[in-house]
Amino acid sequence: MKSIEDYVQLEPQYYQNVLNNYQNLFDKPLAQISTEKIDNVIIYATGSSSNAAYGALPFMSKVLQMPVQVEEPSISENYLLNVKDNTLCLAISQGGHSYSVVKLVERLQKYGHTVFTITSEPDSPVAKVSDNILAMGMPIEEMPYVSAGYSVEILDLILIALVIAKKEQKISKQEYDQYLVQLEDIVKVLPDVIECAEKWVTDNLSTFSQARRIMFIGYGAAYGVSREGETKTTEAVRISSWGKELEEYMHGPYLGLMQGDYVICIEPNGKLQQRQDLLKKFLNKHVEHVYTIYADDAENKKEHDLSLEVETDELFAALYMTIPVHLLAYRLSKEKGNDLEHSAYPDFDQITSSKI
């Protein structure tokens, strides 16, 4: 079975495959959409798929020029199913076995709503109940702790937004082409990003292995990265972890800060960088281990910080900034001797029916 690290290494290949085939993957299937009637988008996702959606959300909202929100499928299906007719519904289930997503798609379609289901498994339960399938453009990820799938979902959502924005003339052909060039440029440097991230993880692994709690703080597209940091650290490393949006953390959770905490600031070098710098000034007064992962280069980075040195739109940062987070979670899981190939609680799905 491939590991998280193996799938991180495959991300450049998967990204390129999606970019080479995005018109067949998304343009043709989405041709049926009457775009003039769409005025909002709801993305239904949970777990890492939800984190990916938050990573893509700011860019999607920008180019579509409409509200885009992420909702938990279970909450939506049971309590919030008041969907307007002019809503574009996107449901994500990478493996296609999520109970909550399957039930949500069935319910939305029952009430006459058009739903596009994004999955990598064409024969999965969610694919069998869905009227409209959007293939992710990558093989089924064998590792249950997804990494490449999370990243590809971000690229998929970005390209879906671009396809619709171009069709609806929300962006010009020139803008559309420029965005595609930026995405191609990211793919080209991805091997260098992976190498840089691997070195940073190796250099800091012995220190991080002492951590009892790790916090990830980000903003904009990097909020999705911070959420994924919490998810993967909790799943793979099995220690306490938080993933917070910058202002969310500053409005209460900072009061729970402990001297032994490890804090990783995810910095996309964007609009709120000065706000995050102020937070780090506070954090450095109270805890020893404060790290920053920068999207591009950083003049004021400290010795233990990481600069990924990618010059691109801050709204594309989630496409590559999770790489060191995934690698850190994997390497720490190995340090702790955690077996990621087999479930720590094999009776969980049997008892809860969380997967179909």
Both 157 and 229 in a single domain?
no
pLDDT over 70 (residue 319): yes
Residue 93 in domain: yes
Q: Which of 114, 144, 171 is the last residue of a domain?
A: 171
pLDDT band at 38 (very low <50, low <70, confident <90, very high): confident
Both 119 and 199 in a single domain?
no
- In angstroms, rounded to a whole number, what is the distance separating the alpha carbons of residues 234 and 244? 14
Mean pLDDT across 271-300: 95
Both 203 and 317 in a single domain?
yes
Say what the pLDDT of residue 82 is: 84
Both 140 and 215 in a single domain?
no
- Of all residues in the chain, the percent with pLDDT exceeding 70 is 99
Domain with 278 in it: what CATH number?
Answer: 3.40.50.10490
Domain housing 277: 190-335
Mean pLDDT across 115-119: 96
Both 144 and 219 in a single domain?
no
Say what the pLDDT of residue 58 is: 98
Residue 312 in domain: yes
pLDDT over 70 (residue 76): yes
User: Mind listing the pLDDT tens digit for each residue in 210-239?
Assistant: 999 999 999 999 999 999 999 999 999 999
Name the domain count of the chain.
Answer: 2
Residue 33 in domain: yes
| pLDDT, the chain, mean | 94
Q: Which of 171, 198, 219 is the last residue of a domain?
A: 171
Say what the pLDDT of residue 34 is: 67
Mean pLDDT across 31-43: 82
Both 221 and 167 in a single domain?
no
Say what the pLDDT of residue 280 is: 97
Both 112 and 217 in a single domain?
no
Higher pLDDT, 341 or 156: 156
Residue 15 in domain: yes
Say what the pLDDT of residue 36 is: 63
User: Mind listing the pLDDT tens digit for each residue in 91-100?
Assistant: 999 988 899 9
Residue 354 in domain: no
Cα pseudo-dihedral 54, 295, 284, 234, rounded to 10: 40
Residue 8 in domain: yes
DSSP assignment string, 151-214:
HHHHHHHHHHHHHHHHHTTSS-HHHHHHHHHHHHHHHHHHHHHHHHHHHHHHHHHHHHTT-SEE
pLDDT band at 326 (very low <50, low <70, confident <90, very high): very high
Q: Which of 266, 236, 224, 243 has its CA nearest to residue 329?
A: 236
Say what the pLDDT of residue 71 is: 96
User: Mind listing the pLDDT tens digit for each residue in 343-353?
Assistant: 778 778 778 87
Both 167 and 198 in a single domain?
no
Q: Which of 136, 171, 206 is the last residue of a domain?
A: 171
Residue 228 in domain: yes
Residue 233 in domain: yes
Mean pLDDT across 246-270: 96
Both 208 and 238 in a single domain?
yes
Both 216 and 131 in a single domain?
no
pLDDT band at 28 (very low <50, low <70, confident <90, very high): confident
Both 23 and 95 in a single domain?
yes
Both 45 and 125 in a single domain?
yes
> Which DSSP symbol is given to 315?
G
